[in-house]
Amino acid sequence: MRARVLSGIQPSGNLHIGNYLGALRNWVRSQKDYECFFCIVDLHAITAYQEPAELQAKIRELAALFLAAGIDPKQSAIFAQSDVHAHTELAWMLTCVTPMGWLERMTQFKAKSAKQESVGDGIFQYPVLMAADILLYQAAIVPVGDDQSQHLELTRDIATRFNSLYGDTFVVPKTDLPSVGARIMGLDDPTAKMSKSAIGSGHAIALLDDPAKIQKTMMRATTDSNPEVNFETMGPGVANLLTIYQAFGEKTNEEMRAEFAGMRYGDLKKRVAGMVIAKLEPLQAEYHRIVAEPGYLDGILQEGKERAAPVANQTVATAKSRMGLYKSLATI
Ligand code: ATP
Ligand code: LTN
């Protein structure tokens, strides 16, 4: 049996190049060697209010983007988290083995709750649900961006604790970060991670932005007070633009130096914009082709669920029995 990969993205906001370079591109690559499960984590999205009709639309949009980026539904399961009930079921069992102190330490919880007047319990429990997503599929590898590293460590701690309390039940997963592009920064503020939920037109490049918009956002990107690229003294804004180019173009450090050392910032921005536009063009064309086919996406999500649910239900049954939960006559 091939080892398994699981990862997820929230159907909230617009997918951006950080999501692509940090996570989605590695998902596509992992299909070659692993049995893959890619989850649209709608239950995570509702930890912040989502307009219901918009959430429905975003779930399909995200499924289409997975496909357009190169996820092959014949090889990999694409499904919605709320469609496989085992996610919420295992999340409760894991909640009961997770000390509150572990969750209080999560930097994402601290940052997200600092922004809101009243903090929903869902934001606090968020990483436990994420642990359930992963452990249900006995995933060995989880391809994510750098901002999820702490949640992955927590997932390993929860799995290890459950295994030691109740006997070996879960595979303890490894984090898979890309070597370049694990943390793309905001174009308006290179000290903050590019984020779907950040407001402001100059912040992110969305995967579905048209070339004129990409060009405009890129030309307005924050750099620093130097006139041209200096690899020794550059600030985070220039470093971020170079990272975007290097990741999309799969260039070595030497190639980057040879191409960009001494280049004026205006030319640098034009070149990075050109690279991003060229790399997104086929993905966008494929996306528009997919969404024009009525019913196709629901079929994909149905097949994905049919593949995911038996694996997840088996893990829940094992976890329940390990914990001594009630076994009805039907399941004996
Ligand atoms: P939000 O800001 O609404 O929390 P997000 O942009 O962080 O959203 P998620 O759905 O939380 O997006 O993340 C999906 C995947 O993209 C995760 O694996 C995450 O680590 C990765 N990712 C998110 N932002 C970046 C980024 N700026 N650079 C690299 N990877 C990222
Ligand atoms: N928390 C993740 C999304 C997510 C996830 C997962 C990622 C939910 N469940 C399981 C990997 C594996 C985020 O990107 N904010």
Q: What values do phi and psi take at 284, rounded to 5?
A: -65, -40
Q: Is the CB of 195 under 6 A from ligand 1?
A: yes
- Identity of the amino acid at 131: A
Mean predicted lDDT score pLDDT of the chain: 96
Judged against a pLDDT cut of 90, whether residue 197 lies above it is answered with no
The number of beta carbons lying within 10 Å of the beta carbon of residue 42 is: 21
Say whether 193 is catalytic.
Answer: yes
Residue 62: nearest ligand to its CA? Answer: 1
Q: Is the CB of 134 under 6 A from ligand 2?
A: yes
Say whether 196 is catalytic.
Answer: yes
Helix axes 121-136, 296-323, angle to 10 degrees: 90
Using CA atoms, how far apart are residues 24 and 18, in angstroms rounded to an integer? 9
Using CA atoms, how far apart are residues 123 and 153, in angstroms rounded to an integer? 18
Per-residue pLDDT band at 332 (split at 50, 70, 90): low
Could you tell me if 245 and 271 are in contact, meaning their C-beta atoms sit under 8 angstroms apart?
yes
Judged against a pLDDT cut of 60, whether residue 52 lies above it is answered with yes
SS3 string, the chain, reads: CCCEEEEEECCCCCCEHHHHHHHHHHHHHHCCCCEEEEEECHHHHCCCCCCHHHHHHHHHHHHHHHHHHCCCCCCCEEEEHHHCCHHHHHHHHHHCCCCHHHHHCCHHHHHHHHCCCCCCHHHHHHHHHHHHHHHHCCCCEEECCHHHHHHHHHHHHHHHHHHHHHCCCCCCCEEECCCCCCCCECCCCCCCECCCCCCCCCCCCECCCCHHHHHHHHHCCCCCCCCECCCCCCCHHHHHHHHHHHHHHCCCHHHHHHHHCCCEHHHHHHHHHHHHHHHHHHHHHHHHHHHCCCCHHHHHHHHHHHHHHHHHHHHHHHHHHHHCCCCCHHHC
How much distance in Å is there from the Cα of 195 to the middle of ligand 1? 6
Please give the domain boundaries of the chain with CATH numbers for all domains: 4-177+295-331 (3.40.50.620), 211-290 (1.10.240.10)
Kindly give the number of the ligand 1 atom that is closest to the alpha carbon of 16: 6
- Conformational region of residue 18, where left means phi above 0, alpha means psi within -120 to 50, and beta covers everything else: alpha
Q: Is the CB of 223 under 6 A from ligand 1?
A: no
Closest Cα to atom 14 of ligand 1: 9
Judged against a pLDDT cut of 80, whether residue 117 lies above it is answered with no
- Identity of the amino acid at 49: Y
Q: Write the pLDDT tens digit of every residue in 144-164.
A: 999 999 999 999 999 999 999
pTM for the whole thing? 0.96
Could you tell me if 12 and 58 are in contact, meaning their C-beta atoms sit under 8 angstroms apart?
yes
- Identity of the amino acid at 321: S
Q: Is the CB of 23 under 6 A from ligand 1?
A: yes
Say whether 174 is catalytic.
Answer: no
Q: Please give the C-alpha separations between residue 282 and each of 54, 63, 71, 287, in angstroms, as whole numbers.
A: 26, 17, 14, 9
Q: Is the CB of 148 under 6 A from ligand 1?
A: yes
The number of beta carbons lying within 10 Å of the beta carbon of residue 309 is: 17
At 198 the pLDDT is: 80
- Identity of the amino acid at 107: T
How much distance in Å is there from the Cα of 65 to the middle of ligand 1? 15
Mean pLDDT score, 31-49: 97
Mean pLDDT score, 22-40: 98
Q: Write the pLDDT tens digit of every residue in 162-183.
A: 999 999 999 999 999 999 999 9
Q: Hey, what are 272's tokens?
A: 């990075």
At 112 the pLDDT is: 81
Closest Cα to atom 26 of ligand 1: 18
How much distance in Å is there from the Cα of 303 to the middle of ligand 1? 26
Mean pLDDT score, 303-323: 98
**DSSP-assigned beta bridge partners for residue 80:** 40
58, 112, 251, 269: which is the annotated catalytic residue? 112
